[in-house]
Structure 1
């Protein structure tokens, strides 16, 4: 719909207020329903993103802990000449 067509329709329906109000109410209801639908989708996506971010953070923290444990363990053990592992004294 271009501006000329809108102006003509607006002028026509301005003489019939009941019809104009009915059209306006339908449009308003339709736009409100669309807004609510998209807000619900946005809220759901935000919750999913928050959950994924939380899982990602948990994974990173867990990996860092495991790496520290591995590092700590590897520093305590060294292979001797016979290929056996011997614990070192703690520092």
Structure 2
């Protein structure tokens, strides 16, 4: 379960991007974050702090995602849609 909102994401922190990947933050510039996926090592992955719904994650969140990636994505999508109705 995500730990908090994006308020203080810095290089070295872990965040969830708009594709629900846990990402190790490597760079922050203004509204833009970039980093490397902790699921498949894809990168650079980029998101907007104000437009992508980025959230900060804990190591526990990453372990949950890696233990059952398909289930994690389905659950997070449902949680996101409940929090952000169309």
Same fold (TM over 0.5): no
Alignment TM-score, normalising by the size of structure 2 = 0.25
- Considering fraction of residues, name the structure with more strand: 2
Higher gyration radius (CA): 1
**Structure with larger RCO (C-alpha < 8 A, sep 6+):** 2
